Structures are given as structure tokens and as C-alpha cells.
Amino acid sequence: MKYMTRDVLVVGAGPAGLAAALAARRGGASVTLLDAADDVGGQYWRHLPPQRPAGREAKLHHGWRRFAALRRRLDADPGCEVLVNAQVWLVERRDDGAPDVHVLVGAADGGGRRQLTFRAWALVLATGASERTLPFPGWELPGVFTAGAAQALAKAERIAVGGDVLVAGAGPFLLPVATSLVRTGARVRGVLEANGWGRLGRAWTAKPAELAASWRKGAELAGYVKDLARYRVPYRTATAVIAAHGTDRVEAVTVARLDPQWAPISGTEKQIEVDAVCVSHGFIPRTELAVAAGCRLRSDGTVAIDANGRTSVDGVFAAGEITGIGGAGLALTEGAIAGTAAAGRPAEGAASARTAAPAITGVGITASAGNTGAPQGRGNGREGPAPTGEQTSPFPRRLENAHGIRPGWTSWLTPDTVVCRCEEVTLGDLTRAARETESRGLRSLKLSTRAGLGVCQGRVCGRTVEELLTQATGGLLDPGRTQTRPIAALVRLGELAAQHEATPHEATPHEEGSP
């Protein structure tokens, strides 16, 4: 086995990962930046491929100039290797506690992916988050999309998911999705926020000084509101899609007013004809690699970090949405801090591996981190150290207070509602298994029903299944297991069985043989 050695390895090339890579180079470290997508930028800066560039790409992106500067600097820097279509499928801890990072490079749906294993003095995890979508009758019909999927098609392919589209769920992310859709030609019939004005107002107006440094988010919000007004897209609060209807695809949806706990109010149901519906109920941090590396998670499932982005595992750092949903601005700041701290880790023996690092100018990111003291330049980021020494953030807390899921949503389900689409498990299947087995173990109930054991391995339905089983059993004996899922990616059996050595590649000057 050949190992690719680096001072700093960054996983994820969204805002946090890009900032971390550039900051680590500024600190003098050799860097490899990995991303599973076919280009850098993450979900926030998802864009047309270079083969089909847009003349006015910035129209669909906030902070596009900053992204262009980041990418330009990294592409021109010989000390930073950028690998796209690079899927990290396993982080394996060695006897000395340091991680080996196993990567498959190549198109996910193709064959013959290269197998590489990296060893680094410091590992920065910037793996982002995935959407959570609550089930409702008919959500398995073609034409029901996650809001993120609809936005990805709009940004990266200039494709609208439908002609008449409804955007629904909870959270500020619904607004940029609606904007992306109208700019690609869709008629957006409305944006439905499940929470009422009372809850939204209380959460976002409390302690206004905390938001003073987040003025850029306010500017973004104003832009989205302007777009909704321009295209006459109505915005409704305390309202949700509670069912989708159609034969071969979505033809209509039923919407209803909700009470403060998200239970539908009887008599308020209304049917709207649409050919697509885009739904999102928030985000779940992608912590699989952090779990595999042994990093400690907080009670909300996010990765615990200190003021410099260090996790509970020596030499492993985290930045961006896996530490708390806070948006691109916070992710950029956290990435710069984590990258700066990671670059300070290489020991004297690694000094020869370093290459000359460029100065970082013109990208609008400032950070300073070290072994002691608080970092600078994160005024819109996480607050000072909590009693545990961790970092907490006012913005993720406000998001939860304003847009967090309320328990009444389960009342819009029927026994026939599919809750696990991979294995076609219904709510009735879950409740029946809990009743007939009298089990209160999440693992045993999942094995009995196969809920969460399909292709997505619970990434889509895991938390929903756990909540429904908690309700059905009166309390599980092993709650929280869906927050610590270790499977990061699908790997073919042939790839696992391959006995050939990982192929060294030409851009890797530092290699070492295994013992």
C-alpha cells in the first residue's frame, strides 16, 4: 500500500473547505483538497460546468466574485492539489490515533475508480449538510423534489423542475430556491413556511445586537424578497403541503394551515394544481466521516469544536455546517480559522514537505488562529467558549428557534404513508412492528421493518423513522443512533475486494510505503 502524505488534507470544497485550503497554504502547509462533486463550490456555489460557462453566472450566486477568487488562487497554487470526483468512503484511525483517509477517485456511476489513501498531519472536515424532508402522503410521486435538488438543477443545468411549482417546508433556504426557480422559467405558485409569524418574529428580533455582524445575510434576504415581489410569488406562513396527488406524477397538492405545533387545522385544506413541489424542512450535518474519525458530537448531532476548529480528536478539525447550520459567511470564517490552525500542526519532520505559500488577498476572508487565544475575524460566527470549552453560535440557535420542526407534523401522516422510500416501509409497518414485537430497540425495529436499511442507509429517513418509533414505543432504549451513522458512501464489492495497491499519481511528490 502506498500512502499520499500531506501536511493538511481538506475534505469538502464548499465555502468552508475552500477557505480552509487557502488558509492552510497561507500558513505554509502542503494541501490536498477533496470533493465528491465534479467541481468545487459546494451546494452554495453550484454552477454550470466549465464546458458550458455562463456569461452572467453571478446572477444566480451571492458572493460569486469571492468564490472566483478562491478558486483562481487554489488552481494557480502548485502547493495545493485539488481532486474532484473524489469520494472519501472511510476514515480509519491508526494505532497512533492519526487517521488514514481512503478515497475513490472517478465518476460515481463509472467503473475503475482509483483507490488512494492519504496520511496527513492535519485533517479538516468540511463535509457540509444534507436536507431533511418530512414525509407526507404522496411524497414518493415523481415531481416531488427536495428543495436542494431543485436548486441544484436550476444552478448547474439551468433546468426548472416543473412549469407550475410550489416551494414548501421551513427555513430561509426556501427563498433562494424560489428565486432560482423563477430565474429558470418556472412559475412559482407560492412559498409556504410551516411556522407562523409569531414564532418567526420572536426568534429573529430577540437580541438584535447579535445579528449586527450578519448584515450580509440581511442584504441577501432583501434580494430574495425583491425577487418574490417582482415575480408576484406569494409567501404564506403557518402553512404546509400535507399531501400530493397524481397517478404517474404530481398533479396537485393539498395545503393546510397549521397550528403552532404544525398540526393541520381542520377545514383549512385547499388543493392546488401543480406539476412539481419542492420541499425542505431544514438540514442535517453530514457527520459520517467525523464519526468514523472518532470526533465527539454535541447533543444536536453537530461536531463539537473549540475556538480554533479543533475537534475532540488530535489533528482533526471541522468547519462549516457540520459544526452547526450557519450559512456561507460563517462557513468561510470557520474554514479560514480551521485551516490556519491546521497549518500550524506539522512537526519539524514535516517541514521539508512544505512549499512556498501564497499570500491571501482579495478574497475577503480574515482569520487568525493558534494554539492559544481566540481567533479573530469571526464576528458573525460562534460566540466565545462555552463552559465546556466548545464554541456555540447564535445564528444556528435562532434558526432552530424560528424554523425548527415541531411534533404536530406526524398528524398529517396516514398508515399508508411511505416513510422509508428505499425499502417502501409505511407508517403502518413501523407501528405494527412496534406493537407486535413489543420492542423498544431502534436497531431491532429497523431490522424487523428494514426502515433505513436501503440504498441511502437512512440518510433521508433516519431521523424521521427514529422520531416515529419513539412516538410508537413511548421511548426508545437506544435513541440518537441515526446521528452517529458511520457509512459515508456506497462502495462496490469489487472495489472493496480489489487487492492491487492504491495507484500513486503524478501530483504526489511525497509517498511512503506501508510497513
Instruction: Assign 208 to helix, strand or coil.
Output: helix
Inform me whether the pLDDT recorded for 423 exceeds 90: yes
As given in the structure block, the three cell numbers for residue 296 are 465527539
What is the predicted pLDDT for the residue at 212? 62
Name the CA radius of gyration of the chain, rounded: 23
The model's confidence at residue 382, banded by pLDDT at 50, 70 and 90, is very low
> Rounded to whole angstroms, how far apart are CA atoms 269 and 183?
30
- CB-based contact 272:263 (threshold 8 Å): no
pLDDT digits (tens, 9 = 90+) for 329-348: 889 999 999 999 999 854 44
What is the predicted pLDDT for the residue at 313? 92
Chain-centre distance for alpha carbon 421: 20
Region of poorest pLDDT, from 129-138, 312-321, 480-489 = 480-489
Q: Of 144, 125, 127, which Cα lies nearest the Cα of 43?
A: 127
**Does 269 or 218 have the greater pLDDT score?**
269
The model's confidence at residue 141, banded by pLDDT at 50, 70 and 90, is very high
Three-state SS string over 436-492 comes to HHCCCCHHHHHHHHCCCCCCCCCCCCHHHHHHHHHHHHCCCCCCCHHHHCCCCCCCC
Average pLDDT over the chain, rounded to whole?
A: 83
**Does 169 or 107 have the greater pLDDT score?**
169
Q: Read off the pLDDT of each residue in 472-499 and give the average, rounded to a whole number.
A: 79
Position of cell 429558470? 184
What is the predicted pLDDT for the residue at 509? 42
pLDDT digits (tens, 9 = 90+) for 252-267: 999 999 999 999 999 9
What is the predicted pLDDT for the residue at 52? 64
As given in the structure block, the three cell numbers for residue 78 are 502548485
As given in the structure block, the three cell numbers for residue 488 are 459515508
Region of poorest pLDDT, from 140-149, 246-255, 374-383 = 374-383
Inform me whether the pLDDT recorded for 487 exceeds 80: no
> Rounded to whole angstroms, how far apart are CA atoms 391 and 383?
6
The model's confidence at residue 138, banded by pLDDT at 50, 70 and 90, is very high
The model's confidence at residue 491, banded by pLDDT at 50, 70 and 90, is confident
Inform me whether the pLDDT recorded for 362 exceeds 60: no
Instruction: Assign 210 to helix, strand or coil.
Output: helix
Region of poorest pLDDT, from 143-147, 155-159, 175-179, 388-392 = 388-392
Paired with 231 in beta bridges are none
Within 8 A by CB and 6+ apart from 277, the residues are: 143, 144, 145, 165, 166, 167, 168, 241, 244, 250, 253
Three-state SS string over 109-129 comes to CCCCCEEEEEEEEEEEECCCE
* pTM of the full structure: 0.85
- CB-based contact 276:472 (threshold 8 Å): no
**Does 366 or 454 have the greater pLDDT score?**
454
Inform me whether the pLDDT recorded for 514 exceeds 80: no
Instruction: Assign 230 to helix, strand or coil.
Output: helix
E-assigned strand segments in 70-223: 80-83, 86-93, 99-105, 114-125, 129-131, 144-146, 164-169, 187-193
For residue 8, the surrounding DSSP H or E stretch is strand 2-11
pLDDT digits (tens, 9 = 90+) for 71-122: 889 988 999 999 999 999 989 887 776 788 999 998 877 778 888 999 888 9
The amino acid at residue 339 is G
**Does 499 or 2 have the greater pLDDT score?**
2
As given in the structure block, the three cell numbers for residue 434 are 412496534
The model's confidence at residue 161, banded by pLDDT at 50, 70 and 90, is very high
Inform me whether the pLDDT recorded for 349 exceeds 70: no
What is the predicted pLDDT for the residue at 424? 95
> Rounded to whole angstroms, how far apart are CA atoms 116 and 123?
16
Strands 114-125 and 2-11: parallel
For residue 241, the surrounding DSSP H or E stretch is strand 239-245
Name all domains of the chain by residue range, CATH numbers in brackets: 2-130+284-381 (3.50.50.60), 133-281+403-412 (3.50.50.60), 415-483 (1.10.10)
As given in the structure block, the three cell numbers for residue 472 are 410508537
The model's confidence at residue 492, banded by pLDDT at 50, 70 and 90, is confident
Position of cell 422559467? 185
**Does 354 or 423 have the greater pLDDT score?**
423
Position of cell 481538506? 10
pLDDT digits (tens, 9 = 90+) for 189-243: 999 999 999 999 999 888 777 666 565 667 778 888 888 999 999 999 999 999 9
pLDDT digits (tens, 9 = 90+) for 7-62: 999 999 999 999 999 999 999 999 999 999 888 888 877 776 666 666 566 666 67
What is the predicted pLDDT for the residue at 58? 63
As given in the structure block, the three cell numbers for residue 169 are 417546508
Paired with 3 in beta bridges are 512
The DSSP symbol for 275 reads S
The model's confidence at residue 178, banded by pLDDT at 50, 70 and 90, is very high
- CB-based contact 287:127 (threshold 8 Å): yes
Paired with 118 in beta bridges are 4, 101
For residue 337, the surrounding DSSP H or E stretch is helix 327-343
> Rounded to whole angstroms, how far apart are CA atoms 284 and 482?
11
> Rounded to whole angstroms, how far apart are CA atoms 281 and 463?
12
> Rounded to whole angstroms, how far apart are CA atoms 373 and 337?
12
